[in-house]
Amino acid sequence: MKEICFVLAACFAVSANAEIYKCTDDTGNTSYQAKPCRDKSQAYALDTRTGSHITIKVKEDQKLQQELKRQQLELEKQKKRQLEQQWASAAKVEQEKTRTLIQNNPKEFSIYAIPPYQLNQLPPVAQQFKPRLPDIEKLRRLAAQKALVSGQCTRVESDQLSPRSKQAKLIVLVDCSSGKSFYFSETELLKK
């Protein structure tokens, strides 16, 4: 009964977030204190808000698990950022090729025919294909060139990834000044 009174008194004396430790020494004597016990294998942390208790060892293990989980999440975020940087830099190489093509052929391409896709501002259609951004940029350029070679397109006005695209089979839509539209699949564009 003394112990219960002591615990209740301690609960009222400490703030709502403070912990009380129930410690048992080698001889089996139990004591309650505000700081952690020396022998953690026999120590319990009492939650003054709920009255529940947990062994200090288990509590430390839980904190360690939480820290490991936090570190793992941070590592995953870092890997994702590195991958995205790789995609963005590979896409910039393809975008530069496209920009040069448009500059060298102003009669065949509207200046806004193939606007570069930015990794952090992808159109909704391209968002699901983010890892394939370099491929998308290359395929858009190839699709515009293929439309021009067809003879039915004299000037490319617009060139976008089509909503018909699938992860394994991207499709590009090319609109020409003649009013003709072309859909080219990835397999068509990559044929030698």
Burial letters 28-56, b for 16+ CB under 10 A, else e: eeeeeeeeebeebebbbbbebeeeebeeb
Sketch the domain layout of the chain as residue ranges.
2-51, 91-190
Specify whether the CB–CB gap between 37 and 43 falls below 8 A.
yes
Count of C-beta atoms within a 10 Å radius of residue 175 = 18
pTM of the model: 0.64
Mean pLDDT, rounded, for 65-71? 90
Count of C-beta atoms within a 10 Å radius of residue 99 = 14
Strands laid side by side in the 43-47 sheet: 30-33, 19-24, 43-47, 53-55
Q: What is the pLDDT of residues 152-178, one digit of tens each?
A: 999 999 999 999 999 889 999 999 999
pLDDT of residue 2: 56
> What is the chain's percent helix, strand, coil content, to nearest 5?
50, 20, 30
d(C-alpha 170, C-alpha 162), whole Å: 8
20 — pLDDT class (breaks 50, 70, 90):
confident
Give me 183's structure tokens.
């859909």
Q: Give me the helix-helix angle, 56-104 and 133-149, nearest 10°.
A: 20
* Whole-number average pLDDT of the chain: 83
Q: What is the pLDDT of residues 70-102, one digit of tens each?
A: 999 999 999 999 988 998 999 999 999 999 999
